[in-house]
Structures are given as structure tokens and as C-alpha cells.
């Protein structure tokens, strides 16, 4: 039997114990003036709580996770399943327990003051001791816990602070989120002091009409409040006034009011500058608590944004405007430090999102680091603040389990109490994937009573129907609902609340197909208002290849090109020796682990473009402002005219003065040349001045319109021209090391694998067809080769006609797929070139990777990239590097020799150093060996990407059907 009262409580297996000795949550920022206790702490990792300490201490950096700091308890990834078999509230006996210890010098100047310890976050149970004496317990891995140490320390003397963190607890069943399991102290540890008379809490409510109300709660460490105290406040030099009516209403029982000190300050700001995500105007507020003699006992500073959030009918309104929610789900994550993220890194996250058109964040699936909300206030993001509740593996049992009722309400309430003064927070979320039960209703009731200024949402309430008004969700927020279901609901006449998907468009690997289609429907359909892409990061952990260990906080630097540093790779589930895991499902972000944007970011940027253009007869184009609150004066423009067979011309663009929603016709900036073929006009929109999130000249969007279609291509055969094929009917060409053959397969994407398509393609044998020569017919100037490709799923007949023409060699192809092969990856040609070709130049969509159902972000034009930069290094190697809508291209060596290809019409083309079989055979990029030559795919048809790894597949219009497919192209030497 232990003599430690905290250990005796066994809080890791007691859901009724949510805390002991922990102070109430509040919204007063105590970081200024605090003593930071971050840095190296003495550390021991025990096998279980209560195990005896050893004599040898190592060290661990705080904040940080021990799973990335050299211990044998390594990260583990599971999506739904818990990492142990015990049912709630039980946990395994083997329960890693980290003991952190350090000496703390308490400033002598703090004599007579109230002294508080703040632990920013600890996973999962925190036990606090000072000089061996217990101070308190806290659960909830993602919110700060504070403890009053006044009676346990002496100012001017040293004290030994011990923080014991137990990894598994009954609370772990509420934190079954789709992320790595770690253990440690993940946010900063602070020691601060206040006057015994102090501001216990401050609540700010600022309306868009300029009305400001500040409610102050005052406490005294001695219990009863001294007489004569008062509060004052000023908003950027403008004094606030005491609300006498409020004071009278709280002056009833003198004994009660002597303990519950409350005061209200008010003012009305004339000509107020309102806050929204486009123009995040903030005012500085200072609140002071005065003793009876007028001296200041305490001060609290806040940044105030004046804005209203309301739901009117089926619309979510910000300041009376129906805003589109262009959101992303975001975890606190870093590839070197796990869940510990610096303010600098958080700012980089938000700056990147802002540059790519995002305006909203869902804090999946817990309250994020407090600094994130400060930055979201400043930079302009709408935040759905989500409570640290996900009981995925045992959701049905826990949602109605009264043993967990206190934890549900406590976690939701503490989030609201911490974050309610942030204008960026526009919706409270009760958690994620925890079924729906009485515990949710209880938490929702607390929120609605405490903060009626914001709506509440919870995805699990959708089990009762999207339109049910009697559930704990003011917003219909399903995840991965098919677009046709969303449209049907919006058009049904039964919709009662906004439809904003909490998760859609799963970004795993080469994904996010149909994103532009979704946004075209959302913008055209009343009742649909947006959603949140899953998710921001690929959660790859930087791992050393030689020993399989995490690189750790002091690991190799991040290159910023999506590729792990030499000697390292991005680890995902299963890479740390665990047998039970969910693989690469952790790698499902719109950016790589080093924050390099994936190609989908450019797609999103165009779907969110603040300026759009459309063709207006022959006289010009129409420009429109698609923002909600802002004009175009912050933007600059430049016109680009790209000719398929000519140069790219540029001219300055003067953007008209358009208010939100307005349009204007402008004349064409160029006289269209008679020659040059197909012509495309692009408006390059950039920032006109430095923005907090982007320097002047940063590209904001690239809207584009076609001015002239391509002319039919006429090819002239060369009489007596020679075409050489070998005895197998394979083309012989001096620039090719592998002749063009039929390709029906791609290295499966994550969507292909998890959506079931890849298994079907393998069953059909599309990855290994047996090519059988049927006939070779030679004629004047050309050769016809007929082959059959024998697969278990059916036989594909393929015909190639090679003809010498003035432009080089014309290749005309036809493939006939039987009805059994009704949805294949691609139909096209693949060939390989001689080594030494290093530069790819093309006219088509680019410069970023694009595919048939993810091509809106890649404007048509002249593009050029080194071959080695065309490939996209998705964490699990798969089909990548394709460019949609390619009209013609060249592959050249440094001496300008090489080959040129012209296509019969815009086609999907890829040029990489890897065969599809190379990609499919490995699990990580460090296992790939680039080929010396180029592997070139020219596709007559290529299947869309969809998001079937978690969500809907691509649309039927992007599938590759059975039947006859024809395509042609010319090849010539440079």
C-alpha cells in the first residue's frame, strides 16, 4: 500500500476523478511575467505508476514527448482501435510512467504573493508533487492544468518539483484520436505569481455594432474579498465605464458578494472596425484590478475582435454575411517533436494556409496550443474549437456512460472557459467520433447556457438526421458525405440548419479528386456552405534509416521539398516495430511532414480564388469579386497570354474597384495574334502590398479563360519513309530504350488500395498482362502492329500504326477493352528514353502535378521543370507526377538534344524516373532507385483520383470505361 495519496487514488483508472487540486480554467493570460520551466529535466521512465524509482536519472526536454527522446517506448499509430485490449475504464498493468524532476528557485520578490504552477499539457494523467508533498492531479492531455503552490514553496528558496505523467488511463478511452500515441509533457511549464487579490477570470463580448461588455471575476487568496476594490478598463486609450445596473444586481447578500467578486465594464465604440477572416481587425484591451487605495493589484490584457456569429435559417452568418467555410482540420504536430509545436511553427502553418485560400480551421480533435488562437485572431481564421473527446473504439458504450459524464462536461467547459475571448472561435465542437448520447447533451447544455453567442456542433448527432432540431448540434456537420446526398438535402425543402462538413476530401497520398467539383456545387447551392479537408499535415515522423529510431528533437534538418533528409525517411504506422498498426493512414495531409505544399494546395487556392474571370463575348472578360467583406484594392494583377505554338505575352492589369459580389467587364489586354494556335488568358493576381501573411507580390490566384481553341492538326506522310520494328512488333528508335507499349495500370494510390480498386485491378491481371503478337503489316511509309494483352479479367486488343510523317514519326493507337474491364486505371502508352534527358518542357496544365479530377489549380501554359522534380514524393510511393491536358512536350539533354512529342489532343502525361512496378514494390522513398532514362506515360484516358481511402470515390465521369479508346502522337528528334 502506497503512502502517496495521489497514487492511492489510482486516477489512471477512475473516470470519476477528473482532477484533484487543479484550479478552475480561466481566460487570463499569465504567460507575461511568468518563469518558464522549459528545458532539461531529470527523467526516469518507469514500467508502471507506483514502480520504485531507480538510482540513475537520465534527462528529457520539456516540453516534449519521451517517445521521441531516446526511450524504448516508441510512437505507435492506430486510427480507431485502442492500443490495448482493456475495456473502459480499465488500462493495462504495463503502463509507461514518466517521472520528471527539477529544482525550482522561487523568486524572493514573490513573498506574500499567490504562487501558481501551470502545466500546459501532459499525456495522459499528471500528478504534481513539491518537495515530496502532493499538489494535485489533472487529466485531459490537451489543456493546461494549474495548481496553487503558495503553501508548498517559500519565495527565495529552492523547491524540488516532480511531475509524474502516466501514459494510459481511463481518459485515454476519450482520446482515441487518429494520430500517434505519445507520452510526455507536450506544452510549456510555467510558474507565475499574482497578488492575493487577483483577476480570476475575464469574459469579453464584443458585438459588431461596437458594443463591448467585459465581465470580471475577482478572488482573494484569503477567501473573503477586501472592501473597496474595483476594476477599470481601457480600449486603446478609450476608458470603459462601470455597469452600475450589473453591480446592483450582484450586491444582494453581502456575505456571498464578499466572496464572489464580480464586476462589469462597458463601452460602445463608434465607427467600429469589425473582425472577420478577411479583415481581422483587433483592438487592445487592458483590464486592471484596483485595491481600495487605487493601486493596481492585477492586470489582464486582451485583443478584442468585434464580430457576431449567428445562424439564420440554414445559413451560418458572420457579421450578418453568409460566409463560405474553406477549412482544414489541424492537429498539433511536428515531425521532430511530435505534439510539441513552437509559436513560430504554428505561425508558419497558418501563413501557408492563408496563402492557399483557407479561411477556417477545425482543431481536430482537441483544443490546440493557446498560441494558435492568438495567431488565428491576428491573421484571420474562423475556428471550430473542438473538445478533447473521441471515444472511437468504445464510442457507443461511453456516450451514455454516467461514469464519464463529468469528464465530458469538464473537457468541453474548460475549453470554452479558456478560449471564449478569441474572436476567431465561431463554433464550439463537442468532440469527434464518439457516437451520440446523454453525455453530449449535458455538455451542450452547459455551453449553451454559458456562451449563447456561438453555435454548437457535433458530427455524431447526425445519426438522428441532418435536419433534426432536437439534437446537440446547431450545424449539420457530417463527414465524407457524398456530394449528391448533400445536394439532395439542400434541395429537399427539409433542411433546417447549415450544412458544413466537418471532414471531406481525404488528403491521403495522391488524392483530393473532385475538389473543384465540390466547390462549384457548394457555391451554386443555397444551404451548402463549405467544409474542412482532412487534414493539414502528413504525420510522418523523421526516422533514422540505419537503426529505425526517431531522429528526435535534435535530428537532421528539414529540407522543405517534401523529401526526408539523407539517411532518414518519413515513418508511418508499423515503422517502429509495432505489429498492430494502421500503416500510412496517418499520412493524409495537404502538406508533407516538412510543410511542403502538396499539389492539392494549388487546387484549393483556385477554388478559393477571390477574383474570377469569364469570357464576355469577343470584346473582353468579366471580373468578379468572390470575397465576403473586402474589395480588390489589396490585390495587383498581371495579364498573361499563352499561345500553344508561340510565346507568352504579359501586360499590367488594373483591377476594377469591386465590392464583394460585384462584377465588371474589362476589355482584352491583347489583340489576339493571327497565328500561334490555341490561346489562353491568365490573370496573375498577387498581393499589392505586404500582408501579415504574405509579402508584396505573393501569388493569390491564377484565374484563366480560353480565348481560342486549337486548330485541327494535319500530318503529311513521307513517301517511302522508313519505320523499324523488331520481330516482336516493338518500335526501334534511337532515342528509346523501351518501345511504346500498352499500359492499363498505375502504381496504386492510397485511394486505389483502400477503396478496393487496386485489388480488383490485380485480380484482373492489369499489372502483368501477357502481350501476344497477332500481326505485323508493313506498308508504304508505315507499319501496323496488332497485339492482344491477355489478362484474367479479359483480353485487350491493341493496334499501333507507325507512319513516317514530315513532323517525325506518327503513332496512332487503338485499344479495345472488353466489358469485363469496366473501370481500369488508365489506357495509354508507356515508353522509356535513353539516359541524359534532364529537362521536360510542355504546353498544357502545370507546373504542378494534376489529374483529370484535380486539374483546376494547374493553369494551361508553357512550363518547364527538371525531370527529377516532376515526381511527387508521397510518403508511400504511388502513382504521381502526372500532368493533365498536355498538348506537346520536349525532353532534352543539357546540349539541347532530345525528343519532342505532339499529341492529337490534350492528354494526361507523366515523365518520371520510375516504372509503376518500381513504385508499387516499395514502402518508402529511400528504397527507390531512380532509372537513368525517363519513363513516359501518354494516356488516352486516366482514372480520376477521388478520395476513396476515406470518403467518396471519384465521379462516374472520371472513370475509364470499357470499349474502344483511340489516341495518336508524333515523335521526333530535337
- Active-site amino acid positions: 433, 503
Q: What does the alpha-carbon distance between residue 841 and residue 590 come to, in Å, rounded to a whole number?
A: 26
Q: Which three cell numbers stand for residue 311?
A: 445562424
Asked if residue 731 lies in contact with residue 922, where contact means CB atoms within 8 angstroms, the answer is: no
Residues ≥6 apart with Cβ < 8 Å to 55: none
DSSP secondary structure string for all residues of 391-417: -GGGHHHHHT-GGGHHHHHHHHHHHHH
State the cell numbers at 759.
485489388
Rounded to whole angstroms, the Cα distance separating 848 from 223 reads: 64
What is the Rg, in whole angstroms, of the alpha carbon atoms belonging to the chain? 31
As a whole number of angstroms, the distance between CA 311 and CA 294 comes to 44
Following DSSP, what letter does each residue of 928-973 receive, concatenated?
----SS-EEEEEEEE-----TTSS----GGGSB-SEEEEEEEEEEE
Quote the CA–CA distance of 704 and 906 in Å, as a whole number: 17
Adjacent-strand bridge partners of 799: 786, 814
Strands 325-329 and 360-362: parallel
C-alpha cell, 510? 495522391
Task: Report the alpha-carbon distance of residue 240 to residue 218 in Å, rounded.
Answer: 18
- Asked whether the beta carbons of 249 and 266 are under 8 A apart, the reply is no
3 state SS of 62: strand
**Terminal-to-terminal C-alpha distance of the chain:** 85
Q: What are the start-end ranges of the H helices in 714-844?
A: 750-754, 757-764
Task: Give SS3 for 515.
Answer: helix
Tell me if residue 313 falls in helix, strand or coil. coil
Backbone angles phi, psi at 846, to 5 degrees: 170, -165
CA distance 27 to 285: 13
Other C-beta atoms closer than 10 Å to the C-beta of 242 total 15
Please list, residue by residue across 397-423, b when 16 or more beta carbons sit within 10 angstroms of its beta carbon and e when fewer do: ebbebeebbbbbbbbbbbbbbbbbbbb
Instruction: For residues 955 and 482, give the distance between their C-alpha atoms in angstroms, rounded to a whole number.
Output: 10
Match 528509346 to its residue by C-alpha cell: 736
Question: d(Cα 869, Cα 741) in Å, to the nearest integer?
Answer: 25
Can you read off the three cell numbers belonging to residue 448? 449553451
Bridge partners of 686, per DSSP, are: 636, 699
H or E element that contains 663: strand 663-667
Amino acid at each position: 500500500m502506497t503512502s502517496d495519496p495521489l497514487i492511492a487514488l489510482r486516477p489512471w483508472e477512475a473516470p470519476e476523478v477528473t482532477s484533484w487540486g487543479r484550479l478552475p480554467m480561466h481566460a487570463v493570460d499569465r504567460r507575461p511575467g511568468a518563469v518558464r520551466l522549459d528545458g532539461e529535466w531529470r527523467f526516469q521512465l518507469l514500467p508502471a505508476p507506483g514502480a520504485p524509482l531507480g538510482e540513475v536519472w537520465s534527462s528529457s526536454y520539456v516540453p516534449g514527448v519521451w517517445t521521441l527522446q531516446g526511450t524504448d517506448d516508441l510512437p505507435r499509430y492506430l486510427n480507431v482501435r485502442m492500443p490495448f485490449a482493456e475495456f473502459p475504464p480499465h488500462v493495462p498493468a504495463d503502463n509507461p510512467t514518466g517521472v520528471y524532476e527539477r529544482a525550482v528557485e522561487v523568486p524572493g520578490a514573490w513573498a506574500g504573493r499567490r504562487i501558481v504552477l501551470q502545466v500546459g499539457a501532459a499525456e495522459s494523467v499528471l500528478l504534481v508533487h513539491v518537495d515530496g508533498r502532493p499538489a494535485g492531479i489533472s487529466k485531459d492531455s490537451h489543456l493546461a492544468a494549474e495548481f496553487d503552490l503558495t503553501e508548498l514553496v517559500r519565495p527565495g528558496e529552492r523547491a524540488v518539483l516532480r511531475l509524474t505523467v502516466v501514459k494510459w488511463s481511463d481518459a485515454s478511452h476519450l482520446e482515441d484520436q487518429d494520430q500517434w500515441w505519445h507520452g510526455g509533457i507536450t506544452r510549456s511549464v510555467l510558474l507565475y505569481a499574482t497578488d492575493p487579490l487577483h483577476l480570476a477570470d475575464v469574459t469579453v463580448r464584443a458585438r459588431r455594432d461596437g458594443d463591448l461588455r467585459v465581465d470580471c471575476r475577482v478572488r482573494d487568496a484569503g477567501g473573503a474579498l477586501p472592501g473597496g476594490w474595483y476594476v477599470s478598463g481601457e480600449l486603446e486609450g478609450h476608458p470603459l465605464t462601470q455597469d452600475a445596473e450589473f453591480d446592483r444586481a450582484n450586491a444582494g447578500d453581502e456575505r456571498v458578494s464578499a466572496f464572489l467578486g464580480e464586476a462589469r465594464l462597458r463601452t460602445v465604440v463608434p465607427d467600429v472596425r469589425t473582425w472577420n477572416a478577411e479583415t481581422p481587425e483587433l483592438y487592445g484591451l487592458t483590464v486592471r484590478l484596483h485595491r481600495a487605495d487605487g493601486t493596481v493589484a492585477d492586470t489582464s490584457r486582451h485583443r478584442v475582435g468585434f464580430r457576431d456569429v449567428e445562424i439564420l435559417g440554414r445559413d451560418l452568418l458572420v457579421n450578418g454575411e453568409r460566409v463560405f467555410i474553406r477549412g482544414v482540420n489541424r492537429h498539433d504536430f511536428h515531425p521532430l517533436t511530435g505534439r510539441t509545436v513552437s509559436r513560430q511553427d504554428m505561425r508558419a502553418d497558418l501563413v501557408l494556409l492563408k496563402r492557399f485560400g483557407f479561411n477556417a480551421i477545425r482543431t481536430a480533435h482537441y483544443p490546440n496550443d493557446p498560441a494558435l488562437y492568438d495567431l488565428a485572431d491576428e491573421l484571420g481564421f474562423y475556428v471550430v474549437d473542438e473538445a478533447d473527446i473521441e471515444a472511437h473504439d468504445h464510442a457507443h458504450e461511453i456516450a451514455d456512460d454516467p461514469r464519464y459524464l463529468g469528464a465530458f462536461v469538464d473537457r468541453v467547459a474548460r475549453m470554452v472557459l479558456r478560449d471564449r475571448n478569441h474572436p476567431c472561435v465561431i463554433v464550439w465542437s463537442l468532440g469527434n467520433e464518439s457516437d451520440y448520447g446523454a453525455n453530449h447533451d449535458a455538455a451542450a447544455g452547459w455551453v449553451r447556457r454559458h456562451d449563447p453567442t456561438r453555435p454548437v456542433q457535433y458530427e455524431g448527432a447526425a445519426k438522428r438526421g441532418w435536419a433534426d432540431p432536437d439534437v446537440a448540434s446547431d450545424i449539420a456537420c457530417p463527414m465524407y458525405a457524398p456530394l449528391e446526398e448533400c445536394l439532395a438535402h439542400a434541395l429537399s425543402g427539409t433542411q433546417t440548419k447549415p450544412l458544413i462538413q466537418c471532414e471531406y476530401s481525404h488528403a491521403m497520398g495522391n488524392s483530393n479528386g473532385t475538389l473543384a467539383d465540390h466547390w462549384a456545387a457548394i457555391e451554386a447551392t443555397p444551404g451548402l456552405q463549405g467544409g474542412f479537408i482532412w487534414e493539414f499535415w502528413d504525420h510522418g515522423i523523421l526516422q533514422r534509416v540505419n537503426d529505425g529510431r526517431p531522429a528526435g528533437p535534435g535530428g537532421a534538418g528539414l529540407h522543405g521539398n517534401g523529401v526526408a533528409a539523407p539517411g532518414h525517411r518519413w515513418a508511418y504506422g508499423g515503422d517502429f516495430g509495432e505489429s498492430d498498426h494502421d500503416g500510412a493512414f496517418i499520412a493524409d495531409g495537404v502538406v508533407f511532414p516538412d510543410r511542403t505544399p502538396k499539389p492539392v494546395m494549388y487546387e484549393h487556392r483556385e477554388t478559393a480564388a477571390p477574383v474570377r474571370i469569364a469570357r464576355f463575348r469577343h470584346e473582353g472578360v468579366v471580373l468578379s469579386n468572390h470575397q465576403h467583406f473586402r474589395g480588390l484594392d489589396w490585390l495587383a494583377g498581371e495579364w498573361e497570354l499563352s499561345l500553344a505554338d508561340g510565346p507568352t505575352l504579359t501586360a499590367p492589369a488594373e483591377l476594377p474597384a469591386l465590392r464583394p459580389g460585384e462584377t465588371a467587364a474589362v476589355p482584352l489586354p491583347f489583340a489576339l495574334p493571327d497565328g500561334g494556335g490555341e490561346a489562353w488568358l491568365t490573370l496573375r493576381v498577387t498581393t499589392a502590398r505586404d500582408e501579415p501573411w504574405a509579402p508584396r507580390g505573393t501569388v493569390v490566384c491564377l484565374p484563366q479563360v480560353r480565348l481560342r481553341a486549337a486548330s485541327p492538326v494535319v500530318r503529311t506522310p513521307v513517301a517511302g519513309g522508313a519505320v523499324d520494328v523488331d520481330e516482336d512488333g516493338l518500335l526501334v528508335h534511337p532515342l528509346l530504350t523501351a518501345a511504346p507499349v500498352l499500359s492499363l495500370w498505375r502504381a496504386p494510390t492510397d485511394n486505389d488500395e483502400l477503396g478496393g480498386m487496386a485489388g480488383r485491378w490485380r485480380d484482373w491481371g492489369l499489372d502483368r498482362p501477357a502481350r501476344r503478337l497477332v500481326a505485323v503489316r508493313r506498308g508504304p511509309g508505315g507499319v501496323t502492329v496488332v497485339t492482344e494483352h491477355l489478362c484474367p479479367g479479359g483480353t485487350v486488343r491493341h493496334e499501333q500504326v507507325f507512319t513516317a510523317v514530315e513532323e517525325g514519326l506518327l503513332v496512332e493507337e487503338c485499344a479495345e477493352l472488353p466489358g469485363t474491364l469496366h473501370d481500369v486505371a488508365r489506357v495509354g502508352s508507356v515508353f522509356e528514353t535513353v539516359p541524359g534527358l534532364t529537362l521536360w518542357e510542355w504546353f498544357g496544365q502545370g507546373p504542378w502535378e494534376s489529374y483529370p479530377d484535380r486539374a483546376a489549380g494547374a493553369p494551361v501554359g508553357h512550363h518547364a521543370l527538371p525531370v527529377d522534380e516532376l515526381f511527387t514524393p508521397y510518403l508511400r510511393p504511388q502513382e504521381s507526377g502526372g500532368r493533365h491536358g498536355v498538348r506537346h512536350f520536349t525532353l532534352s539533354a543539357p546540349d539541347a538534344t532530345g525528343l519532342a512529342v505532339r499529341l492529337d489532343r490534350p492528354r494526361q502525361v507523366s515523365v518520371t524516373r520510375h516504372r509503376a512496378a518500381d513504385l508499387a514494390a516499395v514502402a518508402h522513398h529511400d528504397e527507390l532507385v531512380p532509372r537513368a532514362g525517363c519513363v513516359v506515360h501518354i494516356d488516352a484516358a486516366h482514372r480520376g483520383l477521388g478520395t476513396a481511402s476515406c470518403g467518396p470515390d471519384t465521379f462516374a465521369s472520371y472513370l475509364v470505361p470499357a470499349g474502344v479508346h483511340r489516341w495518336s502522337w508524333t515523335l521526333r528528334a530535337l
